[in-house]
Chains A and B, each alone.
Chain A
Amino acid sequence: MTAAVSAPAAEKKNITGPSFRDVLRHPVKGKLLALAALAVVLVPAGVTLWGSGSWPGALHVDISGPLDDANRWVIDNRDSHPLFLYFLLHLSNTATDAVGGVYDLLRSMGWLGVLAVGVLVAWRAAGLGRGGAKVAATAFGAFALCGLLGMWDATLLTIALMIVAVALAALLGVLIGLAAGLSDRINRALRPVLDTMQVLPAFAYLLPFVLVFGTGTPAALFCTVIYAAPPMARLTALGLRGADPSVLEASASLGASPWQRLRTARLPLARQQMLLGLNQTIMMALSMVVIAALVGAGGLGEEVYSALSTVDVGKALTAGIPIVLIAIWLDRTTAAAGDRIGRGVPGGGLLHGRSGWALVAAGVAVAVSARFLIGGAWPEAWTFDISTPVNKAQSWITEHLSSGVPVLGGTEVWSEQFTVWVLNPLRDGLLWLPWWSVLLIVAALAWLVGTWATALTATLAMSAIGVLGVWTKSLNTLSQVLAALVVTLVLGVLAGVVCARAGRLERWLRPVLDAMQTMPQFVYLIPVVALFGVTRASAIIAAVVYALPAVVRITAQGLREVDPAAMEAARSLGASTRQQLFQVQLPLARPALQLAVNQGVVLVLAVVVVGALVGGGALGYDVVKGLSRGEMGLGMTAGLAIVCLGLVLDRVTQPTARKRP
């Protein structure tokens, strides 16, 4: 491999014939040459010391022993140790009380009261105009459907958990974001922490939380908060940093103290970014609903989870749809509020400012008092059952599509071919590579897209995987992630291009993308297995479905934001549509495409664990096994390996962020 890396550089030197110094100055060749030189020294040393092939056993540190010990210590001491009695138990009780309190409040408002709050707040937040009416209609439809599906009570419980979790996550996020936004040093130190929080599979830290807080609301709540806080922190910091310097200068020159400047200039300027962060936080929190149910959080997640044990797709979908609806309601409301900030504050009037809120409060009060007339629970007669027809449709589809389709062959045949011709060779190829060559490839890729620091981080993360003793499993997972990533990018970029060119299609596609992103994967696991069988291909399908919407959105957005002047110029020069796309739009949208790749990686990796539930095996399976068997060492080791893989993949796909000062 050393030869393979250094050969192209040497060859090019002979062909083009520049002097050695020129090669060193050339950014790509220089880096490769330096790396090759380093490799020539280090690789033979490594190989003679530890041998070639798979990761050397001598360089392996077992951390599962200490982790299992820690596990035991917690179990033995949690009833008596002061840390638990005076601190953690208080946290746990407060969490239970808060969620229980919000739930009771919602219930005491009656169904009409909750409906009124949802609709009127959406209307007010979206600006009371025609746009507001649309958002309010969406909210009304969402709540009404939740009730009609017979999921009213479970929906309330989930909303209660979401309100507390999102409030906590937002608070935590704003605090972290403030620190990172105001101090460069904290920002640098926090970045890897936030990265880790986002890539670390929730399953991996579910177990320690359960040990400390017990099953039930607290563990679920804290896991959700950890998972959902990073976007709020990131976007708050971004908003604070992006503030227009001239405004800050002006406010400083007016004699404002740093605190006044923060309050009157920086925070208001960052408001739109912060609202976007809130929006992302809500979405992330909602995606944890089912995982939270695994530790006994109740609500919609538990309905989905219990439907799985009887393989009842219809019932799972009945509980999954309200999750999507809540997501759509909250997304539209916060997005509309964000847009309004962007447009500036409209002039005062009867329906604006405080009088608007007063109207909302009055409406809610009327609706709440209506509960004494019509009762608090959603009327039983107003529900209908969709599970039977859904189950029938599902079995018809899987029966007719899985095999024996003329010409196309059917989904089962595809998944078999994909496994045999793509996944197996990819996995075997990665496993065949000697350990040092994998490190070299990672280093080279990371160095080419970033700085030497990027390369060092990526290489260290890759080595950490070997040291943890899960080299083989990690490469197996890596092969699945790479395959899923390629499929996601091909489909996502194609769909993104189509969306960017046909605006109407995108409007039609939006709810579909929303549903794909927020529908708990557990709901479609059964149809996926029925169609594709218990194989790694099924795991990849689950990952693609989850990661696709983000890639489509980012691509479409990037293409649409290409400078209209450049497009106009291309058109006036007589470029065909194809030429416009390939020679103007796509090259100009390169940053967006790179972001799409990066987001694709993060999202695909986030569902590796879910993929293990349908035959993905490898690291994801170890995480699930660690959680369900209480083997903390096993689960945490695999979880850490997933984080390391995430760091490696993130570093080799994130060029622009590195170069920015």
Chain B
Amino acid sequence: MRNRTRTLRTATAVVGALGVLTLSACSAAETGKSQDAAGGEKTVKLTVPSWVGAQANTAVAEYILEKELGYTVKSQQMGEVLAWDALSKGDVDAIMEDWGHPKEEKRYVEDKKTVVKGGDLGVTGHIGWFVPKYFADAHPDVTDWKNLDKYAKEFATAESGGKGEILEGSPDYVTNDDAIIKNLDLDLKTNYAGSEAAQITAIKKYVKEKKPFLTYWWTPQWLNAEVELVEVKLPEYKEGCDADPKKVACAYPNTPLQKFLNADFAKNGGEAAEFLKNFKWTTEQQNEVAQMIAGEKMSPEAAAEKWVKANESTWKAWLPKK
């Protein structure tokens, strides 16, 4: 008797599970169709990189695309190289801010021709070594790389084993620092924080305690509005001095940040593609939005809305001519 009840119950459970599966299969098929029907050419897929500056670009582009041009925007957060891959496959239509990926650029833009350039973003990025302003004020000569060894002891931590520590960020970011330290024969050691969040937290912690530190850092960055950092001058950058990653002994270049579009989207994307190609603003404008997101903890949508309402003349110029 008990066995029969059990069998019955199992049967009910199986039927129920199958029912749910069938149901989900049905609605799944519908979703696929309805997405195509509703989306079609009116959907734009953007990638949201992990740093706030690029979130500002995407948020503003998303807001204008949705409110002014009537598109549906799907934005997705992912790593940089993954985004390139997705861009090539058409999973993503555009990358709004790229800091230079020569390997991917060659593979997808030149060889496979699945990605095309979308023009300058208007913002210039720069990577370098930075010390806090309070330390540079007290020791003005620290801003020349030749004097860094003198302060190695001040930068030392438990991790750096007697040498000076240079704090590194996420593995995502381009860095030649190990090579630079070796080739300039500096008494320094890299310590990889492993994520931008960890690096920012560490910097904030140092600043609160007014401790000296040396860090790999870049502009534009929202934290620069909260924490004053001074760049250390490395040997001047010359074209090609970073060609061999093992022999780099010079500063990082100034990188005009680029936009990239999926090739099909650039051709058939209509108004949206044209708008994204026209999108161009200044470092200050980007920082303004980034600061609202990171400093004031506004949501990206709210920050974009505020900026768009206040800067109509700037973005009107990006809209496709009719």
Contacts and interface: CB of A to CB of B under 8 A. Distances in A.
B167 interface: yes
A351 interface: no
B293 interface: yes
B259 to A, nearest CB: 19
A264 B4 CA distance: 10
Interface in B10-35: 12, 16, 23-32
A538 B201 CA distance: 13
A293 interface: yes
A627 B209 contact: no
Contacts, number: 192
Interface stretch (A272-280, A325-333, A529-537, A643-651): A529-537
A354 B188 CA distance: 72
B297 A100 contact: no
B79 A627 contact: yes
A310 B76 CA distance: 16
B158 A535 contact: yes
Given A529-B198, A534-B198, A105 B9 contact: no
Contacts of A620: 194
Interface residues of B, number: 68
Interface stretch (A23-31, A179-187, A412-420, A593-601): A412-420
Nearest to B290: A310
A630 B76 CA distance: 18
Nearest to A100: B31
A536 B192 contact: no
Contacts of B92: 215
B82 A210 contact: yes
Nearest to A315: B297
| Main SS at interface, chain A | helix
A43 interface: no
A216 B91 contact: yes
B76 A296 contact: yes
Contacts of A79: 89
Interface centre among B91, B198, B202, B294 (most CB of A within 10 A): B198
B56 to A, nearest CB: 11
A579 interface: no
Interface in A226-258: none
A306 interface: yes
A211 to B, nearest CB: 7
A624 B194 contact: yes
Contact of B198 (A93, A525, A630): A525
A406 interface: no
B91 to A, nearest CB: 5
B240 interface: no
Contacts of B159: 419, 534-536, 615
Contact of B79 (A294, A416, A533): A294
Contact of B205 (A293, A357, A402, A612): A402
Nearest to B222: A310
B194 A302 contact: no
Interface stretch (B47-55, B60-68, B131-139, B279-287): B47-55
A641 to B, nearest CB: 17
Given A216-B91, A612-B194, A621-B171, A310 B24 contact: no
A104 B20 CA distance: 13
A354 to B, nearest CB: 6
| Main SS at interface, chain B | helix
A16 interface: no
A591 interface: no
Contacts of A293: 77
A587 interface: no
A54 to B, nearest CB: 18
A268 B198 contact: no
B91 A214 contact: yes
Interface centre among A104, A264, A629 (most CB of B within 10 A): A629
A78 B208 CA distance: 51
B161 interface: yes
Interface centre among A268, A310, A399, A538 (most CB of B within 10 A): A310
Interface string B98-127: 000000100100001000000000000000
Contact of B158 (A416, A613, A624): A416
A424 B77 CA distance: 37
Contacts of B202: 529, 533-534
Nearest to B76: A296
A357 B12 contact: yes
A332 B28 CA distance: 30
A612 B171 CA distance: 10
A236 to B, nearest CB: 16
B86 interface: yes
B169 to A, nearest CB: 10
A306 B77 contact: yes
B191 A105 contact: no
B3 to A, nearest CB: 7
Interface centre among A101, A264, A298, A530 (most CB of B within 10 A): A101
A183 to B, nearest CB: 24
Contacts of B50: 305, 308-309
Contacts of B311: none
Interface centre among B48, B158, B209 (most CB of A within 10 A): B158
Nearest to B209: A403
Contacts of B80: 628
Given A102-B24, A526-B201, A534-B191, A348 B5 contact: yes
Nearest to B86: A215
Which 10 residue pairs across A and B have the least CB separation, nearest first?
A101-B28, A630-B81, A625-B171, A97-B28, A419-B158, A101-B24, A613-B194, A529-B201, A613-B195, A308-B197
7 contacts: A215-B92, A296-B78, A309-B196, A309-B197, A399-B208, A419-B159, A535-B158
Given A215-B78, A305-B50, A535-B157, 19 more contacts: A97-B31, A101-B27, A214-B91, A298-B76, A306-B48, A308-B197, A311-B201, A315-B297, A348-B5, A525-B195, A530-B205, A533-B157, A612-B192, A615-B159, A615-B191, A615-B192, A628-B80, A629-B172, A630-B84
